[in-house]
Amino acid sequence: MSNKVYDVLKYIAQIFLPALTVFVGVVLKCFNYANTDIVITIMTAFDAFLGSVLMISNTNYKKNIEK
């Protein structure tokens, strides 16, 4: 994974997805959407998955630099 791709994905995982999740949750609650909790749970799980994958990638990258 290139540095540019990593930086974009890191921004998405740390800034964009959490903000989007809050926004979607508020909007869906305003419209009394019955499955708001499910949507928010899925979005949060995806963000956690992306963060984990990026952390693993970062750890592997640092190990390769130290060699």
Report pLDDT for 24: 97
Three-state secondary structure call for residue 36: helix
Mean pLDDT per block of 10 residues along the chain (67 residues) reads: 86 95 97 96 96 86 74
User: What ranges in 1-67 are assigned the alpha helix state H?
Assistant: 3-11, 17-30, 36-66
**Quick one: residue 15, left, alpha or beta (phi over 0 = left, psi -120 to 50 = alpha)?**
alpha
**Which sequence spans correspond to the domains of the chain?**
3-66
Q: Which residues contact 58 (CB under 8 A, 6 or more apart)?
A: 6
Q: Residue 9 corresponds to which tokens in the numbers above?
A: 């994905």
